[in-house]
Amino acid sequence: MKTIDWVDGAIELIDQTKLPGELVVNRVDNLDSLIYDIQRLAVRGAPALGVAGAMGVALLAAQFEDLDKVRSEAARLRAARPTAVNLSAMVDRVLPVIEQGPAAVLAEALAVRDEDIAACYSIGQYGADLVRGLVQRDKARIMTICNTGGLACVERGTALGVIQTIFEQGWLEEALPVETRPLLQGARLTAWELKQMGAPFRLMVDSAGPFVLAQGLADAVFIGADRIAANGDTANKVGSYSLALGAKRAGVPLCVVAPETTIDMNTATGSDIEIEDRGSEEVTTFQGVRSAPEGTATINPAFDVTPHDLITAIITDRRVIRPSAGEKLSEVPLGPTRAA
């Protein structure tokens, strides 16, 4: 099933806060509910947020005849989460179509959905081919963080989508997801997706990742991206930078996997990316149970930035760029979108 879709005049999305315990689909028919689901991470992952943004504009176009009202409400939607560029970019893509009427807006939003599905299949092909050249063994052991599978997109996924392609081709030895503090997207979501596909995997705590790399137990690290700056610096789930440092020390390639839509050429470097701080509750409690003393102050960045010189390759649906080798996003030409 699709993580997010348009069904009978409304958005239907998997509520990822309920996983892995239960599979719940939310039906969203108004902007406030959509923003609420975005901010509480019922829907998350840069590509899925892009689709949510596009479909959110379709909701608004169907609800309001006043185009200025649609624009003002869309501004609230695009600001719901600041770090992932796909949300604002897809709102901005679909919003100009409102002058053509609700049907045209919906058609554009569905095109965003379909392009994301095609991009994920293409990413899997580009990524699997690259790993063949990077890994010096018959089977690959791939470490990853957070959730970058179908739950972060519409279907299949980015970094986890490459792992799925390698598994389907028969040469995945194991995936090595880290649990991903503080909300455990690696444990709750990635482990769930790996189990659904029947792929071999072992879960580890976040802080074990660099040591496991030093022990030679992984052949590559694959991470997603919420925004890739023009120079290749990449914002991704917090903990990615630690894995990049560990991978560099261990001589293990680290690859960023994301669709072309996650590249933001208007953001020059990683220092220009706004990093969302999600407050204290996620750190001092978990699922309603207090884990730190009342009143504990926190630092809770949802993302960190990996500098481009630590990135072996950026894999998209249209090309592979090697920042650590000096390749620039502005100079590597686009290739074709590859079929499944």
Residue 218's contacts (CB-CB under 8 Å, 6 or more residues apart) are: 141, 142, 143, 176, 212, 252
Residue 276's contacts (CB-CB under 8 Å, 6 or more residues apart) are: 81, 82, 83, 301, 302, 303
pTM above 0.85, yes or no: yes
- Torsion on CA atoms 220, 225, 227, 229, rounded to nearest 10: 10
pLDDT in tens, 302-316: 999 999 999 999 999
Residue with tokens 């049907």, as numbered in its chain: 103
Residue 309's contacts (CB-CB under 8 Å, 6 or more residues apart) are: 323, 324
pLDDT at 340 > cutoff 90: no
CATH class of 4-115: mainly alpha
pLDDT at position 307 is: 98
Instruction: Please give the positions annotated as active site.
Output: 226
Q: For the chain, give percent helix, strand, coil, nearest 5.
A: 45, 20, 40
For 45-60, what is the mean pLDDT?
98
pLDDT at 26 > cutoff 80: yes
pLDDT at position 215 is: 98
Distance CA 257, CA 254 (A): 10
pLDDT at position 1 is: 85
pLDDT in tens, 323-333: 999 999 999 99
Cis omega before residue 20 (within 30°)? yes
220: nearest Cα among 327, 297, 312, 292: 312
Fold classified for 125-325: Rossmann fold (3.40.50)
Give the rounded percent of residues in the chain with a pLDDT score beyond 90.
98
Cis omega before residue 200 (within 30°)? no
Mean per-residue pLDDT of the chain = 97
pLDDT at 160 > cutoff 80: yes
Cα angle for residues 268, 326, 217 (degrees, 5° grid): 105
Pairing of strands 320-321, 313-315: antiparallel
- What pairs with residue 305 in β-bridges? 235
> Is residue 118 helix, strand or coil?
helix
Distance CA 127, CA 222 (A): 10
pLDDT at 182 > cutoff 80: yes
Q: Which residues of 156-178 are buried (b: 16+ CB within 10 A; e: fewer)?
A: bbbbbbbbbbbbeeeebbbbbbb
pLDDT at position 339 is: 84
pLDDT at 136 > cutoff 90: no
pLDDT in tens, 217-268: 999 999 999 999 999 999 999 999 999 999 999 999 999 999 999 999 999 9
For 138-163, what is the mean pLDDT?
98
Distance CA 67, CA 45 (A): 29
Residue ranges per structural domain of the chain: 4-115, 125-325
pLDDT band at 210 (very low <50, low <70, confident <90, very high): very high
